[in-house]
A and B are shown apart, each in its own frame.
Chain A
Amino acid sequence: MDWILDFYNYRVVAQYLPEFARGLGSTAWISLLALGISLSVGTIVAIMRMSTNPLLWRIAAGYVQAIRSTPLLIQIYLIYFTLPALPLLDRRLDELEGGIIALGLNAGAYMSEIIRAGIESISRGQVEGAMSVGMSYLQRMRYVVLPQAFARVAPPLLGQTAVLIKDSSLVSFIGVFELFGAGLVILNERLMPNEGFLTVAVCYLAIYTIMLSVTDYAQRRLGGAVS
Protein backbone atom coordinates (compact mmCIF):
# COMPACT_ATOMS: atom_id res chain seq x y z
CA MET A 1 0.00 0.00 0.00
CA ASP A 2 3.01 2.28 0.25
CA TRP A 3 2.84 3.38 -3.35
CA ILE A 4 -0.63 4.80 -2.74
CA LEU A 5 0.61 6.74 0.27
CA ASP A 6 3.34 8.24 -1.91
CA PHE A 7 0.87 9.50 -4.43
CA TYR A 8 -2.18 10.14 -2.29
CA ASN A 9 -1.73 10.15 1.45
CA TYR A 10 -5.26 9.57 2.66
CA ARG A 11 -4.15 9.91 6.28
CA VAL A 12 -3.37 13.56 5.65
CA VAL A 13 -6.74 13.94 3.97
CA ALA A 14 -8.41 12.37 7.00
CA GLN A 15 -6.58 14.85 9.19
CA TYR A 16 -7.94 17.75 7.15
CA LEU A 17 -11.47 16.37 6.92
CA PRO A 18 -12.95 19.17 9.08
CA GLU A 19 -11.47 21.73 6.67
CA PHE A 20 -13.08 19.97 3.71
CA ALA A 21 -16.41 19.78 5.52
CA ARG A 22 -16.23 23.48 6.31
CA GLY A 23 -15.32 24.24 2.70
CA LEU A 24 -18.16 22.11 1.40
CA GLY A 25 -20.65 23.86 3.66
CA SER A 26 -19.31 27.23 2.61
CA THR A 27 -19.59 26.34 -1.09
CA ALA A 28 -23.16 25.19 -0.48
CA TRP A 29 -24.13 28.45 1.21
CA ILE A 30 -22.40 30.65 -1.35
CA SER A 31 -24.05 28.76 -4.20
CA LEU A 32 -27.47 28.84 -2.58
CA LEU A 33 -27.38 32.60 -1.96
CA ALA A 34 -25.94 33.29 -5.41
CA LEU A 35 -28.66 31.07 -6.88
CA GLY A 36 -31.32 33.15 -5.14
CA ILE A 37 -29.82 36.37 -6.49
CA SER A 38 -29.41 34.93 -9.98
CA LEU A 39 -33.02 33.70 -10.19
CA SER A 40 -34.40 37.06 -9.04
CA VAL A 41 -32.09 39.03 -11.33
CA GLY A 42 -32.72 36.57 -14.15
CA THR A 43 -36.50 36.88 -13.89
CA ILE A 44 -36.43 40.68 -13.79
CA VAL A 45 -33.96 40.90 -16.68
CA ALA A 46 -35.97 38.39 -18.73
CA ILE A 47 -39.16 40.41 -18.27
CA MET A 48 -37.31 43.65 -19.06
CA ARG A 49 -35.78 42.04 -22.14
CA MET A 50 -39.25 41.20 -23.46
CA SER A 51 -40.64 44.66 -22.81
CA THR A 52 -41.65 46.85 -25.76
CA ASN A 53 -40.07 49.87 -24.07
CA PRO A 54 -36.75 50.31 -25.93
CA LEU A 55 -34.99 51.73 -22.87
CA LEU A 56 -35.89 48.70 -20.76
CA TRP A 57 -35.05 45.98 -23.24
CA ARG A 58 -31.85 47.67 -24.35
CA ILE A 59 -30.61 47.87 -20.77
CA ALA A 60 -31.46 44.21 -20.26
CA ALA A 61 -29.84 43.12 -23.52
CA GLY A 62 -26.73 45.18 -22.76
CA TYR A 63 -26.48 43.61 -19.34
CA VAL A 64 -26.65 40.09 -20.75
CA GLN A 65 -24.10 40.87 -23.48
CA ALA A 66 -21.71 42.54 -21.04
CA ILE A 67 -21.82 39.60 -18.64
CA ARG A 68 -21.47 37.01 -21.39
CA SER A 69 -18.52 38.77 -23.01
CA THR A 70 -16.36 39.25 -19.92
CA PRO A 71 -14.81 36.64 -17.63
CA LEU A 72 -16.39 35.99 -14.24
CA LEU A 73 -13.03 36.67 -12.59
CA ILE A 74 -12.94 40.25 -13.80
CA GLN A 75 -16.56 40.70 -12.70
CA ILE A 76 -15.62 39.50 -9.22
CA TYR A 77 -12.65 41.89 -9.14
CA LEU A 78 -14.75 44.82 -10.34
CA ILE A 79 -17.39 44.27 -7.68
CA TYR A 80 -15.09 43.41 -4.81
CA PHE A 81 -12.17 45.77 -5.40
CA THR A 82 -13.71 48.78 -7.06
CA LEU A 83 -17.17 49.34 -5.56
CA PRO A 84 -17.02 52.25 -3.12
CA ALA A 85 -18.81 52.25 0.24
CA LEU A 86 -22.47 51.49 -0.34
CA PRO A 87 -24.94 54.09 0.95
CA LEU A 88 -27.33 51.76 2.82
CA LEU A 89 -24.65 49.49 4.21
CA ASP A 90 -22.38 52.41 5.09
CA ARG A 91 -19.28 50.32 4.33
CA ARG A 92 -17.70 48.44 1.47
CA LEU A 93 -18.69 44.87 0.63
CA ASP A 94 -16.57 42.24 2.32
CA GLU A 95 -15.12 39.42 0.23
CA LEU A 96 -17.96 37.01 0.94
CA GLU A 97 -20.70 39.49 0.01
CA GLY A 98 -18.76 40.70 -3.03
CA GLY A 99 -18.17 37.15 -4.23
CA ILE A 100 -21.78 36.09 -3.77
CA ILE A 101 -23.15 39.19 -5.51
CA ALA A 102 -20.73 38.84 -8.43
CA LEU A 103 -21.61 35.15 -8.81
CA GLY A 104 -25.31 35.93 -8.64
CA LEU A 105 -25.12 38.75 -11.17
CA ASN A 106 -23.05 36.59 -13.50
CA ALA A 107 -25.37 33.59 -13.36
CA GLY A 108 -28.38 35.94 -13.55
CA ALA A 109 -27.51 36.87 -17.13
CA TYR A 110 -27.43 33.22 -18.21
CA MET A 111 -30.55 32.40 -16.17
CA SER A 112 -32.41 35.31 -17.77
CA GLU A 113 -31.89 33.85 -21.24
CA ILE A 114 -33.26 30.50 -20.09
CA ILE A 115 -36.20 32.09 -18.26
CA ARG A 116 -36.99 34.22 -21.31
CA ALA A 117 -37.16 31.09 -23.46
CA GLY A 118 -39.54 29.68 -20.86
CA ILE A 119 -41.80 32.73 -20.80
CA GLU A 120 -41.87 32.88 -24.60
CA SER A 121 -42.93 29.25 -24.74
CA ILE A 122 -46.13 29.93 -22.77
CA SER A 123 -48.96 30.12 -25.25
CA ARG A 124 -50.65 33.44 -25.89
CA GLY A 125 -54.00 31.97 -24.84
CA GLN A 126 -52.80 31.68 -21.24
CA VAL A 127 -52.09 35.40 -21.07
CA GLU A 128 -55.34 36.27 -22.83
CA GLY A 129 -57.28 34.02 -20.48
CA ALA A 130 -55.72 35.73 -17.49
CA MET A 131 -56.49 39.14 -18.98
CA SER A 132 -60.10 38.21 -19.58
CA VAL A 133 -60.64 37.37 -15.92
CA GLY A 134 -59.33 40.85 -15.11
CA MET A 135 -55.81 40.11 -13.86
CA SER A 136 -53.31 42.94 -13.87
CA TYR A 137 -49.92 42.54 -15.58
CA LEU A 138 -48.19 41.59 -12.33
CA GLN A 139 -50.92 39.13 -11.40
CA ARG A 140 -50.71 37.47 -14.82
CA MET A 141 -46.98 37.07 -14.45
CA ARG A 142 -47.13 35.93 -10.85
CA TYR A 143 -50.04 33.47 -11.07
CA VAL A 144 -50.17 32.32 -14.68
CA VAL A 145 -47.05 32.84 -16.76
CA LEU A 146 -44.07 32.45 -14.43
CA PRO A 147 -45.15 29.23 -12.67
CA GLN A 148 -45.57 27.47 -16.00
CA ALA A 149 -42.43 28.99 -17.46
CA PHE A 150 -40.28 27.91 -14.50
CA ALA A 151 -41.68 24.38 -14.57
CA ARG A 152 -40.85 24.15 -18.23
CA VAL A 153 -37.27 25.37 -17.99
CA ALA A 154 -36.42 23.72 -14.69
CA PRO A 155 -33.95 21.25 -16.28
CA PRO A 156 -31.77 23.87 -18.02
CA LEU A 157 -31.98 26.08 -14.92
CA LEU A 158 -30.66 23.18 -12.86
CA GLY A 159 -27.89 22.67 -15.41
CA GLN A 160 -26.95 26.32 -15.07
CA THR A 161 -26.99 25.89 -11.29
CA ALA A 162 -24.40 23.12 -11.65
CA VAL A 163 -22.24 25.60 -13.59
CA LEU A 164 -22.80 28.18 -10.85
CA ILE A 165 -21.55 25.75 -8.20
CA LYS A 166 -18.41 25.05 -10.22
CA ASP A 167 -17.87 28.76 -10.82
CA SER A 168 -18.12 29.46 -7.10
CA SER A 169 -14.55 28.11 -6.86
CA LEU A 170 -13.40 31.43 -8.34
CA VAL A 171 -14.34 33.42 -5.24
CA SER A 172 -11.30 31.83 -3.60
CA PHE A 173 -9.32 34.39 -5.65
CA ILE A 174 -10.52 37.19 -3.40
CA GLY A 175 -9.86 35.19 -0.26
CA VAL A 176 -13.19 33.56 0.47
CA PHE A 177 -12.78 30.19 2.13
CA GLU A 178 -14.78 27.49 0.34
CA LEU A 179 -14.24 23.98 -1.03
CA PHE A 180 -11.37 24.97 -3.30
CA GLY A 181 -9.82 26.97 -0.46
CA ALA A 182 -9.71 23.76 1.60
CA GLY A 183 -7.49 22.25 -1.12
CA LEU A 184 -5.29 25.33 -1.04
CA VAL A 185 -4.85 24.91 2.72
CA ILE A 186 -3.27 21.48 2.22
CA LEU A 187 -1.10 22.83 -0.59
CA ASN A 188 0.13 25.70 1.55
CA GLU A 189 0.59 23.86 4.84
CA ARG A 190 1.84 20.49 3.60
CA LEU A 191 2.94 21.13 0.00
CA MET A 192 0.70 18.25 -1.03
CA PRO A 193 -1.20 19.23 -4.16
CA ASN A 194 -2.52 15.71 -4.87
CA GLU A 195 -4.16 15.29 -1.49
CA GLY A 196 -5.67 18.74 -1.66
CA PHE A 197 -6.91 19.03 -5.20
CA LEU A 198 -7.83 15.45 -5.99
CA THR A 199 -10.06 15.41 -2.92
CA VAL A 200 -11.62 18.72 -3.90
CA ALA A 201 -12.10 17.45 -7.45
CA VAL A 202 -13.92 14.37 -6.17
CA CYS A 203 -16.20 16.56 -4.03
CA TYR A 204 -17.08 18.79 -6.98
CA LEU A 205 -17.64 15.73 -9.16
CA ALA A 206 -20.01 14.28 -6.55
CA ILE A 207 -21.98 17.55 -6.44
CA TYR A 208 -22.09 17.63 -10.25
CA THR A 209 -23.29 14.04 -10.46
CA ILE A 210 -26.05 14.72 -7.95
CA MET A 211 -27.10 17.84 -9.88
CA LEU A 212 -27.10 15.84 -13.10
CA SER A 213 -29.44 13.19 -11.71
CA VAL A 214 -31.71 15.89 -10.24
CA THR A 215 -31.79 17.48 -13.71
CA ASP A 216 -32.65 14.12 -15.27
CA TYR A 217 -35.41 13.61 -12.73
CA ALA A 218 -36.83 17.08 -13.42
CA GLN A 219 -36.69 16.43 -17.14
CA ARG A 220 -38.64 13.21 -16.77
CA ARG A 221 -41.18 14.65 -14.33
CA LEU A 222 -41.79 17.91 -16.13
CA GLY A 223 -41.68 16.65 -19.70
CA GLY A 224 -39.90 18.24 -22.62
CA ALA A 225 -37.75 21.24 -21.84
CA VAL A 226 -37.14 24.26 -24.00
CA SER A 227 -33.60 25.47 -24.17
Chain B
Amino acid sequence: MNEIILSTIPFLMDGLLMTFKISLLTIFFGSLIGVVVGMLRSLDYAVITYPLGAYIHVLRGTPFLIHLYLVYFMLPMTGISWLQLEAFPAAVIALSMYTSTYVAEIVRSAIQAVPRGQSEAARSTGMTALQSMWYVVLPQAVKLMIPPMGGVYVIIIKGTSIVSVIGIAELVRAGEHATQRHPKEMMMIYGMTALLYFAYCYPVLRLARWAETKFGSVRLPS
Protein backbone atom coordinates (compact mmCIF):
# COMPACT_ATOMS: atom_id res chain seq x y z
CA MET B 1 0.00 0.00 0.00
CA ASN B 2 2.67 2.44 1.05
CA GLU B 3 4.88 1.50 -1.87
CA ILE B 4 2.06 2.18 -4.26
CA ILE B 5 1.53 5.63 -2.79
CA LEU B 6 5.25 6.36 -2.93
CA SER B 7 5.62 5.10 -6.49
CA THR B 8 2.53 7.00 -7.68
CA ILE B 9 3.24 10.35 -6.09
CA PRO B 10 6.05 11.42 -8.46
CA PHE B 11 3.78 10.88 -11.47
CA LEU B 12 0.93 12.77 -9.86
CA MET B 13 3.34 15.58 -9.03
CA ASP B 14 4.34 15.80 -12.70
CA GLY B 15 0.66 16.05 -13.52
CA LEU B 16 0.13 18.71 -10.88
CA LEU B 17 3.01 20.68 -12.36
CA MET B 18 1.32 20.60 -15.76
CA THR B 19 -2.00 21.65 -14.19
CA PHE B 20 -0.13 24.47 -12.48
CA LYS B 21 1.51 25.57 -15.73
CA ILE B 22 -1.72 25.59 -17.72
CA SER B 23 -3.65 27.38 -14.99
CA LEU B 24 -1.00 30.10 -14.66
CA LEU B 25 -0.80 30.72 -18.41
CA THR B 26 -4.58 30.73 -18.59
CA ILE B 27 -5.17 33.17 -15.75
CA PHE B 28 -2.67 35.48 -17.47
CA PHE B 29 -4.07 35.36 -20.99
CA GLY B 30 -7.67 34.99 -19.84
CA SER B 31 -7.38 38.10 -17.66
CA LEU B 32 -5.71 39.99 -20.47
CA ILE B 33 -8.55 39.27 -22.91
CA GLY B 34 -11.16 39.64 -20.18
CA VAL B 35 -9.96 43.05 -19.01
CA VAL B 36 -9.98 44.37 -22.57
CA VAL B 37 -13.42 42.93 -23.31
CA GLY B 38 -14.86 44.13 -19.99
CA MET B 39 -13.47 47.64 -20.41
CA LEU B 40 -14.68 47.96 -23.98
CA ARG B 41 -18.10 46.72 -22.95
CA SER B 42 -18.35 49.23 -20.13
CA LEU B 43 -17.69 52.11 -22.54
CA ASP B 44 -21.28 51.57 -23.73
CA TYR B 45 -20.94 51.99 -27.47
CA ALA B 46 -23.63 49.77 -28.99
CA VAL B 47 -21.34 48.80 -31.89
CA ILE B 48 -18.87 47.32 -29.43
CA THR B 49 -21.14 46.23 -26.59
CA TYR B 50 -23.40 43.94 -28.60
CA PRO B 51 -20.78 41.86 -30.46
CA LEU B 52 -18.81 41.45 -27.24
CA GLY B 53 -22.02 40.55 -25.42
CA ALA B 54 -22.58 37.87 -28.05
CA TYR B 55 -19.01 36.61 -27.54
CA ILE B 56 -19.65 36.23 -23.81
CA HIS B 57 -23.09 34.73 -24.31
CA VAL B 58 -21.90 32.12 -26.81
CA LEU B 59 -18.91 31.04 -24.72
CA ARG B 60 -20.96 30.93 -21.53
CA GLY B 61 -23.79 29.07 -23.19
CA THR B 62 -21.76 26.12 -24.42
CA PRO B 63 -19.72 23.62 -22.41
CA PHE B 64 -15.98 24.19 -22.23
CA LEU B 65 -15.53 20.67 -23.58
CA ILE B 66 -16.99 21.89 -26.89
CA HIS B 67 -14.64 24.88 -27.09
CA LEU B 68 -11.73 22.56 -26.54
CA TYR B 69 -12.82 20.22 -29.33
CA LEU B 70 -13.56 23.09 -31.69
CA VAL B 71 -10.15 24.70 -31.14
CA TYR B 72 -8.28 21.41 -31.29
CA PHE B 73 -10.14 19.69 -34.14
CA MET B 74 -11.92 22.40 -36.12
CA LEU B 75 -9.23 25.09 -36.49
CA PRO B 76 -6.83 22.66 -38.22
CA MET B 77 -9.60 21.87 -40.74
CA THR B 78 -9.33 25.43 -42.05
CA GLY B 79 -5.96 24.47 -43.53
CA ILE B 80 -4.23 27.63 -42.30
CA SER B 81 -0.81 26.61 -41.12
CA TRP B 82 -0.58 28.63 -37.91
CA LEU B 83 -3.94 27.28 -36.80
CA GLN B 84 -2.59 23.71 -36.74
CA LEU B 85 -2.35 23.80 -32.99
CA GLU B 86 -0.63 21.29 -30.76
CA ALA B 87 -2.61 20.05 -27.78
CA PHE B 88 -0.95 22.37 -25.26
CA PRO B 89 -1.53 25.73 -27.02
CA ALA B 90 -5.01 24.56 -28.02
CA ALA B 91 -5.83 23.89 -24.38
CA VAL B 92 -4.45 27.22 -23.20
CA ILE B 93 -6.28 29.16 -25.93
CA ALA B 94 -9.63 27.45 -25.34
CA LEU B 95 -9.40 27.80 -21.58
CA SER B 96 -8.25 31.43 -21.83
CA MET B 97 -11.22 32.33 -24.00
CA TYR B 98 -13.58 30.63 -21.57
CA THR B 99 -11.93 32.40 -18.63
CA SER B 100 -12.08 35.77 -20.37
CA THR B 101 -15.88 35.74 -20.26
CA TYR B 102 -15.85 35.50 -16.47
CA VAL B 103 -13.15 38.14 -16.15
CA ALA B 104 -14.98 40.47 -18.53
CA GLU B 105 -18.15 40.33 -16.43
CA ILE B 106 -16.16 40.95 -13.25
CA VAL B 107 -14.35 43.91 -14.78
CA ARG B 108 -17.57 45.41 -16.08
CA SER B 109 -19.40 44.97 -12.76
CA ALA B 110 -16.47 46.49 -10.87
CA ILE B 111 -16.30 49.47 -13.22
CA GLN B 112 -20.04 50.01 -12.86
CA ALA B 113 -19.70 49.84 -9.08
CA VAL B 114 -17.49 52.94 -9.12
CA PRO B 115 -19.81 55.92 -8.63
CA ARG B 116 -20.68 57.72 -11.84
CA GLY B 117 -19.63 61.06 -10.37
CA GLN B 118 -16.01 59.94 -10.46
CA SER B 119 -15.86 59.58 -14.22
CA GLU B 120 -18.04 62.66 -14.71
CA ALA B 121 -15.63 64.72 -12.61
CA ALA B 122 -12.70 63.32 -14.57
CA ARG B 123 -14.37 64.13 -17.89
CA SER B 124 -15.21 67.65 -16.73
CA THR B 125 -11.55 68.37 -16.03
CA GLY B 126 -10.92 67.65 -19.70
CA MET B 127 -9.79 64.03 -19.56
CA THR B 128 -10.76 61.81 -22.47
CA ALA B 129 -12.93 58.75 -21.87
CA LEU B 130 -9.85 56.52 -21.91
CA GLN B 131 -7.89 58.79 -19.56
CA SER B 132 -10.70 58.92 -17.03
CA MET B 133 -10.97 55.14 -17.25
CA TRP B 134 -7.24 54.60 -16.78
CA TYR B 135 -6.42 57.23 -14.14
CA VAL B 136 -9.66 57.52 -12.16
CA VAL B 137 -12.08 54.61 -12.54
CA LEU B 138 -9.82 51.57 -12.95
CA PRO B 139 -7.63 52.18 -9.88
CA GLN B 140 -10.78 52.20 -7.75
CA ALA B 141 -12.36 49.26 -9.55
CA VAL B 142 -9.32 46.97 -9.31
CA LYS B 143 -9.78 46.42 -5.58
CA LEU B 144 -13.29 45.12 -6.18
CA MET B 145 -12.07 42.68 -8.82
CA ILE B 146 -9.63 40.83 -6.59
CA PRO B 147 -12.03 38.65 -4.54
CA PRO B 148 -14.10 37.29 -7.46
CA MET B 149 -10.88 36.65 -9.40
CA GLY B 150 -10.04 34.02 -6.78
CA GLY B 151 -13.22 32.20 -7.76
CA VAL B 152 -12.27 32.48 -11.43
CA TYR B 153 -8.85 31.01 -10.72
CA VAL B 154 -10.50 28.00 -9.07
CA ILE B 155 -12.78 27.61 -12.10
CA ILE B 156 -9.65 27.54 -14.28
CA ILE B 157 -7.90 24.94 -12.12
CA LYS B 158 -10.98 22.75 -12.27
CA GLY B 159 -11.28 23.42 -15.99
CA THR B 160 -7.78 22.09 -16.63
CA SER B 161 -9.02 18.63 -15.65
CA ILE B 162 -11.02 18.55 -18.89
CA VAL B 163 -8.02 19.14 -21.17
CA SER B 164 -6.89 15.61 -20.32
CA VAL B 165 -9.25 14.56 -23.11
CA ILE B 166 -6.95 15.91 -25.83
CA GLY B 167 -4.01 14.05 -24.34
CA ILE B 168 -2.34 16.58 -22.08
CA ALA B 169 -0.63 14.86 -19.16
CA GLU B 170 -2.10 16.97 -16.39
CA LEU B 171 -3.29 15.78 -13.01
CA VAL B 172 -6.35 13.75 -14.08
CA ARG B 173 -4.40 12.14 -16.91
CA ALA B 174 -1.57 11.31 -14.54
CA GLY B 175 -4.12 9.71 -12.24
CA GLU B 176 -5.59 7.69 -15.12
CA HIS B 177 -2.13 6.40 -16.04
CA ALA B 178 -1.46 5.47 -12.44
CA THR B 179 -4.71 3.50 -12.25
CA GLN B 180 -3.64 1.54 -15.31
CA ARG B 181 -0.53 0.43 -13.45
CA HIS B 182 -2.42 -0.34 -10.23
CA PRO B 183 -6.00 -1.11 -11.25
CA LYS B 184 -6.82 -2.44 -7.78
CA GLU B 185 -5.98 0.87 -6.13
CA MET B 186 -8.27 3.05 -8.19
CA MET B 187 -10.05 4.57 -5.23
CA MET B 188 -6.83 5.54 -3.52
CA ILE B 189 -5.25 7.00 -6.66
CA TYR B 190 -8.28 9.04 -7.66
CA GLY B 191 -8.66 10.03 -4.02
CA MET B 192 -5.08 11.28 -3.99
CA THR B 193 -5.72 13.16 -7.22
CA ALA B 194 -8.77 14.80 -5.68
CA LEU B 195 -6.75 15.71 -2.59
CA LEU B 196 -4.09 17.38 -4.74
CA TYR B 197 -6.77 19.47 -6.47
CA PHE B 198 -8.19 20.31 -3.07
CA ALA B 199 -4.76 21.35 -1.80
CA TYR B 200 -4.43 23.67 -4.80
CA CYS B 201 -7.95 25.14 -4.85
CA TYR B 202 -8.90 25.41 -1.19
CA PRO B 203 -6.22 27.99 -0.24
CA VAL B 204 -7.23 30.08 -3.25
CA LEU B 205 -10.86 30.04 -2.13
CA ARG B 206 -9.87 30.94 1.43
CA LEU B 207 -7.69 33.75 0.15
CA ALA B 208 -10.55 35.04 -1.98
CA ARG B 209 -12.84 35.03 1.05
CA TRP B 210 -10.25 36.90 3.07
CA ALA B 211 -9.86 39.45 0.29
CA GLU B 212 -13.61 39.87 0.20
CA THR B 213 -13.76 40.88 3.85
CA LYS B 214 -10.86 43.24 3.24
CA PHE B 215 -11.77 44.91 -0.05
CA GLY B 216 -15.48 44.19 -0.44
CA SER B 217 -16.73 42.66 -3.63
CA VAL B 218 -19.07 43.17 -6.55
CA ARG B 219 -22.31 41.33 -7.08
CA LEU B 220 -22.11 39.46 -10.32
CA PRO B 221 -25.06 38.86 -12.60
CA SER B 222 -25.79 35.16 -12.24
Contact B73 A68 (CB under 8 A): no
Shortest C-beta distance, A77 to chain B (Å), equals 5
Stretch at the interface among A28-36, A94-102, A198-206: A198-206
Contact B77 A194 (CB under 8 A): yes
Contact A73 B70 (CB under 8 A): no
- Whether A78 is near chain B, meaning CB under 8 Å from some CB there, is yes
Known contacts A70-B194, A193-B74, A193-B77, then 12 further A-B pairs from the complex at CB < 8 Å, ordered by chain A residue: A74-B172, A74-B193, A74-B194, A166-B64, A187-B73, A197-B66, A197-B74, A201-B66, A205-B61, A208-B61, A227-B219, A227-B220
- Whether A71 is near chain B, meaning CB under 8 Å from some CB there, is yes
Query: Can you report 29 residue pairs joining A to B where beta carbons are below 8 Å apart?
Result: A68-B154, A68-B205, A69-B154, A69-B198, A69-B202, A71-B160, A71-B172, A74-B193, A81-B187, A81-B190, A82-B186, A82-B191, A166-B61, A166-B63, A166-B64, A169-B63, A170-B162, A180-B63, A187-B73, A193-B74, A194-B77, A197-B69, A197-B73, A201-B62, A204-B66, A205-B62, A207-B61, A225-B222, A227-B222
A78 CA to B74 CA, complexed, in Å:
31
Contact A201 B70 (CB under 8 A): yes
A200 neighbours in B (Cβ, 8 Å): 66
A172 neighbours in B (Cβ, 8 Å): 65
Q: Which of A68, A159, A170 contacts B201 (CB 8 A)?
A: A68
A69 neighbours in B (Cβ, 8 Å): 154, 197-198, 201-202, 205
- Whether A143 is near chain B, meaning CB under 8 Å from some CB there, is no
- Whether B214 is near chain A, meaning CB under 8 Å from some CB there, is no
Shortest C-beta distance, B11 to chain A (Å), equals 16
**With A69-B205, A82-B187 in contact, is A204–B61 under 8 Å at CB?**
yes
A135 CA to B74 CA, complexed, in Å:
61
Which residues of B144-201 have CB atoms within 8 Å of chain A's CB atoms?
154, 157-162, 164-165, 172, 175, 179, 186-187, 190-191, 193-194, 197-198, 201
Contact A167 B197 (CB under 8 A): no
Which residues of A83-107 have CB atoms within 8 Å of chain B's CB atoms?
none
- Whether B60 is near chain A, meaning CB under 8 Å from some CB there, is yes
> Which residues of A come within 8 Å of B, CB atoms?
7, 65-66, 68-75, 77-78, 81-82, 155-156, 159-160, 166-167, 169-170, 172-173, 180, 183, 187, 193-194, 197-198, 200-201, 204-205, 207-209, 212, 215, 225, 227
- Binding site secondary structure of chain A: helix
A78 neighbours in B (Cβ, 8 Å): 187, 190-191, 194
A198 CA to B190 CA, complexed, in Å:
32
A51 CA to B168 CA, complexed, in Å:
43
- Binding site secondary structure of chain B: helix
- Whether B58 is near chain A, meaning CB under 8 Å from some CB there, is yes
Shortest C-beta distance, A137 to chain B (Å), equals 30
**With A77-B190, A78-B191, A78-B194 in contact, is A204–B162 under 8 Å at CB?**
no
Contact A81 B201 (CB under 8 A): no
**With A65-B205, A69-B197, A70-B201 in contact, is A193–B70 under 8 Å at CB?**
yes
B70 neighbours in A (Cβ, 8 Å): 193, 197-198, 201
A173 neighbours in B (Cβ, 8 Å): 165
B165 neighbours in A (Cβ, 8 Å): 173
Closest B residue to A202 by CB, please name it. B62
Closest A residue to B188 by CB, please name it. A82
A156 CA to B74 CA, complexed, in Å:
34
Shortest C-beta distance, A169 to chain B (Å), equals 4
